[in-house]
Amino acid sequence: MDANYMPFHPSPRKPAYAPPPGAVDAHCHVFGPGDVFPYAPERKYTPCDAPKEKLFALRDFLGFERNVIVQATCHGKDNRALVDALRASNGLARGVASVGPSVSDAELHDMHEAGVRGVRFNFVKRLVDATPKEIYLGIADRIAPLGWHIVVYFEAPDLEGLIPFLRQLPTTIVVDHMGRPDIAKGVDHPDFQRFVDLMADNPNVWSKVSCPERLSVDGPATNYADVVPFARRLVDRFTDRVLWGTDWPHPNMTTHMPDDGALVDVIPHIATDAAKQKALLVDNPMRLYWS
């Protein structure tokens, strides 16, 4: 573990909000354990181990029934820890892998059998080295016949330049963390409106309304209230194309380590009635990952 890496919260509180039956934590990770699943040589950070047993215990404690586990950059394109967690989940987890152009059809089919249903394209420069868009388009063509979708991670200033590329993708697109808007600019700023317009113009684009702990200026003292208007706008307008996740074990947090119970208690503020909560936590992830 890097000297400045912040481990996940050791004892989150039980949330006051009870998720509906069948709720899915649709964005989380597994790390290692490193002596079994080594971290990638090209990684930009070395985390603490966060194995599948810890993730599944947290799932149960928070009141969720299923997980969507997203391959993290610290494991690179070695998806063994992800696949191991999926196979151990008894069908209660699906996965999003990271693959390169050399991945074989046999490897893709093996991952599909384990529960992988998407690939992640990461454009956050501090986390990964740049990949030519032509390589990503080639991967998209490979995974489309499997019915997989593409998860895209970028930061708000990069969206305008990515839009032509996103329009070329042949699958459903899921954007991580609302495209990481600058919360200080306010919900009506043109940067966030560009993302809203992207979703409005492209019915194949979904969004995770997750990670208030990463986006908030005010922080945990207000339980990330400054992020709520952004997420609520997406949930209200695109109720059938939003997902939510904890982002456990919260890699690369620098300001504080969030309490996962407190994160769950943000949900009723962004999805303000039972129908929206069921869409966000049950219907949408089940349709995308288990149908």
Q: Give the catalytic positions in this structure.
A: 247
Q: What angle do CA 288, 116, 91 make, to 5 degrees?
A: 80
- The three-point CA angle 122-165-25 to 5° equals 40
CB neighbours (10 Å) of residue 34?
17
Q: To 10 degrees, what angle do helices 105-114 and 80-88 make?
A: 30
- In the sheet that holds 116-122, the strands lie side by side as 24-28, 66-70, 93-97, 116-122, 149-153, 173-175, 205-208, 242-243
DSSP secondary structure string, 34-59? TTTSPPPTT-S-----B-HHHHHHHH
The structure tokens listed for 271 are 């999805």
- Cα separation of 290 and 93, whole Å? 9
